Amino acid sequence: MLTEACKILDTFDNPNPERDYTILFRIPEFTCLCPVTGQPDFATLFLEYVPDILCVELKSFKNYIVSYRDVGTFHEAVTNQILNDLVLVCAPRFMRIRAKFNVRGGIYTTVVAKYLAPGRTPVHSNSLGD
């Protein structure tokens, strides 16, 4: 079932579905709210995926990311929700998201979640960058 935020996401046909290639997004201005204090949390998101039939359209992805600005959520939950929503709308061959949150309470948090389509070979890549 599509979440409200997920309904924002648009896709387009992969121009080269016969080939495995990697698309990388770096989102340096992700914000959400701490569900305990209500204070803003800031993160840089790194998204890496190998498309199958569909690719994620960038403007809709930007609007999707902005939709979290006033949402109270834990780092682990929001990282996995973003991955779930993207997998649902574009069914990639492989997808990995790394959410690198700014310091809160003297602790930096980084959450990594990944998806591998059934029957696919794992992708071994260190291309998520910093």
Q: How confident is the model at residue 1 (pLDDT cuts 50, 70, 90)?
A: very low
Whether the CB-CB separation of 81 and 3 falls below 8 Å is answered with yes
Which range marks the domain in which residue 68 is found? 6-116
* 10, 20, 34, 52: the active-site residue: 34
Whether 39 is in a domain gets the answer: yes
Number of domains in the chain: 1
Annotation says 85 is catalytic: no
Annotation says 41 is catalytic: yes
Whether 43 is in a domain gets the answer: yes
C-alpha closest to that of 63 among 96, 88, 27, 38: 27
Predicted TM-score (pTM) of this structure = 0.90
**pLDDT tens per residue, range 58-117:** 999 999 999 999 999 999 999 999 999 999 999 999 999 999 999 988 999 999 999 999
From residue 103, give the alpha-carbon distance in Å to each of 42, 45, 100: 9, 15, 9
Whether 125 is in a domain gets the answer: no
* 32, 41, 55, 85: the active-site residue: 41
**pLDDT tens per residue, range 34-59:** 999 999 999 999 999 999 999 999 99
Q: Which CATH number does the domain housing residue 68 bear?
A: 3.30.1130.10
